[in-house]
Structure 1
Amino acid sequence: MDSSVLSYSLELVAGSGITLSVEQRVALQTAMVLLKKNYKFHRVLFWGKILGIKKDYFIAQGRGEDEMQGKKYLYSFNCMDWFLLPLATDSMIKEVTKAAKSRFIGDPSAMENEPCNSSSESDCSWFQATVNEESRLAVTIHQIDEEASVVPRGAFVKNPHGLVQINRSFGGLSHSEARRLDNFLHFSKAKNPKKTVREVGVVNETIDFLDVLMDDIPKGSWSLQLECASNVCVLRSLLWPGLTLFHVPMTPQHGYVYIGDGKKNLDLPFVL
């Protein structure tokens, strides 16, 4: 969610139970201005909040000239003091996948070990992966962004130099377009771009460079609803519960936020 319209955006997703206190909103808006200046970001967004047992992590996302590449993430416990998260590398992702199973605590230095099924302590000591919670936080945010960050079709364009930037001429989806899942795209590196639009024979190379949500597996992993007398489109991820997008049809207003425990719903394919 863009920091410049944070309070407005949070009101539009409040129906999902997503809310922040007045004090937190004020502190966040002040902090975003300072983060943008100090880190020389082009834009700063409130990414969301990951709930911990003792403390919650507030997450900010900084973007550069290219909106998709080189994103940086920072976390805070009080919306005033911020710490830069490390980049989620392939080796870090592998270690976290093995070791991290329980809920977040709210302590970046807390360590978590890979579970061992052997009854012998000596058998476990040599292969257990160990990661701290800060690394796990970086990986979790990376995975959620890769699998569930979403934007309306046309909200971003790829310019002739290959940079992904805000589409200043985007006026929003129509009410009929906002009812269809194929008008919402993953805001991450495409794995199978333009599949759906190519099937219907309508391809715009400038905006159709992202994956379409309706191609996601498992089918039915998104819940799309029009709320407030059809004035707001709300899209919720069932794979990553807590990820919510809003879009006001016929306007450029859109954004997504994640507020949850950082746990993926691995049972989803069996309940759909």
Structure 2
Amino acid sequence: MLALAEEVKGRFQGDPSFEYSLAEINPEDAARLVQSGKEPVMKEEARLIATIEQIDRAVGIVPRGAFVKTPLGSVHENRHFEGLSLVEAKKLSSYFHFTEPTDLKNKTLMEKADLDPSTDFLNCLEHDIPQGKGSWSIQLEKGGSVVVLRSLLWLGLTFYHVPMTKQFGYVYFGTGEKNLDLPFML
């Protein structure tokens, strides 16, 4: 369902019962659904759920050290996390995607030697494509007391962190459309 939801283009209608015809989106998948006895439509609420999941996987982030990985492999909230310093909070390398890591397997032994396995077990934002600050905007708000990261890939996603505190989070107020023009905007 997630793959089909990604193929639907355009803004949401605002009606959870609105049905998208899958025959117009992907005729092959629609034919498969008809053969299996299912109706070739997708409700807007299913598209919304899939879009939220896609946004969370792509741009759900946490500060470095907010979560720890135990030697047995489980991940827990770090009770000793007291926030990033202001200097660290202004660096893109201090933030990680809060999803299953994929980039760590591609690192060399030399790169892995500098990582702390208990805190550096997630994918770092500085390795996002486009590389560096291409897909993220970092700003200081309220005289430097709040660091704000904004996603340029999913316009409308805002992450905040108050340095030297445990306060961080993100919110998305957007159209539900990925910014596919990002590579051309840089």
- Which TM class, normalised by the smaller chain length? 0.7 to 0.9
SS in 2 for 1:162: coil
The within-5 A match list for 1:49-128 is: 92-98=1-7, 100-114=8-22, 116=24, 126=31
Give the RMSD, CA atoms, in angstroms. 2.5
User: CA shift at 1:116, angstroms?
Assistant: 4.3
Q: In the alignment, does 2:165 pair up with 1:240? A: no
**What is the rounded CA distance, in whole Å, between the counterparts of 1:178 and 1:201 in structure 2?**
23
**What is the rounded CA distance, in whole Å, between the counterparts of 1:116 and 1:191 in structure 2?**
34
Gaps of 5+ in 1: 1-91, 118-124
**What is the rounded CA distance, in whole Å, between the counterparts of 2:6 and 2:23 in structure 1?**
11
**What is the rounded CA distance, in whole Å, between the counterparts of 1:161 and 1:149 in structure 2?**
24
**What is the rounded CA distance, in whole Å, between the counterparts of 2:94 and 2:23 in structure 1?**
42
The change in CA–CA distance for 1:115 and 1:270 in structure 2 (over 3 A counts) is farther
Runs of 4+ aligned structure 1 residues displaced above 3 Å come to 114-117, 125-129, 198-201
**What is the rounded CA distance, in whole Å, between the counterparts of 2:104 and 2:121 in structure 1?**
6
User: CA shift at 1:159, angstroms?
Assistant: 2.2
8 Å Cα contact 2:6/2:51 also seen in 1 = no
2:185 maps to what in 1?
271
Q: Which letter maps to 2:87?
A: S
Gaps of 5+ in 2: 34-39
The change in CA–CA distance for 1:136 and 1:164 in structure 2 (over 3 A counts) is same
Percent of residue pairs bearing the same amino acid type: 51
**What is the rounded CA distance, in whole Å, between the counterparts of 1:200 and 1:235 in structure 2?**
26
The within-5 A match list for 1:207-246 is: 207-219=119-131, 220-246=134-160
**How many residue pairs align between the two structures?**
173
2:47 maps to what in 1?
136
Q: Which letter maps to 1:264?
A: K
8 Å Cα contact 1:231/1:248 also seen in 2 = yes
SS in 1 for 2:173: strand
SS in 2 for 1:260: coil
Q: Could you list the per-position Cα deviations for residues 184-212 of structure 1 after superposition, in whole angstroms to 9, with x for gaps in the alignment?
A: 0001111113859x638421111111000
